[in-house]
């Protein structure tokens, strides 16, 4: 359950507002680690402790929704259209999720906050992104990603109706770009292994909502793999094939949403689970498909 709800369960006299307040002050710990995001999901049986005498930490507001935060890790909910990191080295003036988290960390640490990039998602992709607040956390988190010990699940709306209810795409992705795009490697092209697992969540007229689980994390992996099997991501102008776009619903970006990150905290050993709700544009597209007239293909 949410941390603020779990805290109220242990201290029924707390109001929801007061519970959020003491959590944000840094007075609440989960299994010994201070957690400052009220919406953090905590496991049944977790040791949730409130110390009302603990000195409140400096207040800092982040201009992105916090999905999880403690002394060493921050997971934010990135909107589509916002870069995760600058588009090129030195472009520090760009508005990015990294810059916003850096500003948040500077306020917390009174000017000396460290923020380390752990992974990234495309500009047009929305959802959960993790940053480290210490060198040790960054090194440990990157090891988890490298060893594929982090559960990463995406909600993806694709063109066309899949034949099966689930599938696996196990095809290497080439290292080089061709025409500004990645692609499945051919022959002896330099490449890296890539594994994508997908499951049907809902069938819609001319489209399918998938739950996608990444076995690896290559750039553009989901978009490349799904386009390769004939089901490009809805709204993906880079990898869509001409002639299969939906006739009644438009999307201004690929409808690809990083909905879940789950892993064992590398510092304290606690289970971390951050879930991002579907954004409004994704929900609107689904609703249009559900209520619109069915078209013969």
CA distances from 42 to 10, 17, 62, 256 (A): 13, 19, 21, 26
**CA within 13 Å, CB half, 132:** 19
- C-beta of residue 209 within 8 angstroms of C-beta of residue 202: yes
Q: Is 122 known to be catalytic?
A: yes
d(CA 1, CA 41): 5
pTM over the 0.75 mark = yes
254-270 per-position pLDDT tens digit: 999 999 999 999 988 88
First to last CA, the chain: 44
Write out 77-144 in H/E/C secondary structure.
Answer: EECCCCECCCCCCCCCCCCEHHHHHHHHHHHHCCCCCCCEECCCCCCCCEEEEEEECCHHHHHHHHHH
Catalytic residue among 122, 175, 211, 236: 122
- C-beta of residue 159 within 8 angstroms of C-beta of residue 234: yes
86-128 per-position pLDDT tens digit: 988 878 788 999 999 998 888 776 656 799 999 999 999 999 9
Residue 179: both structure tokens together:
């025409």
Q: Is pLDDT above 70 for 143? A: yes
46-65 per-position pLDDT tens digit: 899 999 999 887 666 688 99
- C-beta of residue 31 within 8 angstroms of C-beta of residue 267: no
Residue 130: both structure tokens together:
């993790």
Q: What is the mean pLDDT of the chain?
A: 89
Q: How many CB atoms lie within 10 A of CB 65?
A: 15
Average pLDDT estimate for 19-23 = 91
d(CA 274, CA 282): 19
């Amino acid at each position: 359950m949410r941390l603020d709800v779990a805290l109220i369960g242990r201290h029924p006299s707390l109001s929801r507002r007061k519970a959020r307040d003491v959590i944000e002050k840094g007075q609440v710990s989960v299994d010994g680690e201070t957690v400052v995001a009220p919406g953090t999901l905590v496991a049944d049986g977790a040791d949730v402790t409130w110390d009302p005498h603990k000195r409140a930490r400096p207040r800092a507001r982040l201009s992105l929704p916090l999905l999880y935060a403690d002394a060493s890790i921050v997971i934010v909910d990135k909107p589509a259209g916002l870069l995760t990191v600058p588009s090129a080295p030195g472009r520090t003036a760009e508005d990015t999720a990294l810059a916003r988290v850096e500003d948040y960390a500077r306020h917390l640490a009174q000017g000396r906050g460290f923020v380390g990039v752990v992974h990234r998602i495309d500009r047009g992709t929305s959802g959960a992104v993790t940053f480290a607040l210490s060198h040790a956390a960054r090194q440990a988190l990157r090891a988890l990603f490298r060893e594929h010990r982090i559960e990463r699940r995406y909600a993806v709306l694709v063109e066309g109706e899949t034949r099966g209810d689930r599938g696996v795409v196990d095809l290497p992705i080439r290292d080089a770009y061709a025409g500004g795009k990645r692609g499945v490697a051919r022959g002896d092209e330099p490449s890296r292994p890539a594994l994508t697992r997908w499951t049907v969540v809902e069938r819609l007229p001319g489209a399918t909502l998938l739950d996608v689980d990444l076995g690896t994390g290559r750039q553009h992996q989901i978009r490349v793999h799904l386009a390769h099997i004939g089901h490009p991501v809805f709204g993906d102008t880079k990898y869509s094939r001409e002639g299969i776009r939906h006739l009644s619903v438009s999307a201004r970006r690929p409808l690809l949403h990083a909905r879940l990150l789950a892993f064992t905290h590398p510092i304290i050993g606690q289970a971390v689970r951050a879930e991002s709700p579907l954004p409004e544009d994704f929900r609107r597209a689904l609703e249009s498909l559900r209520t619109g007239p069915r078209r013969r293909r």
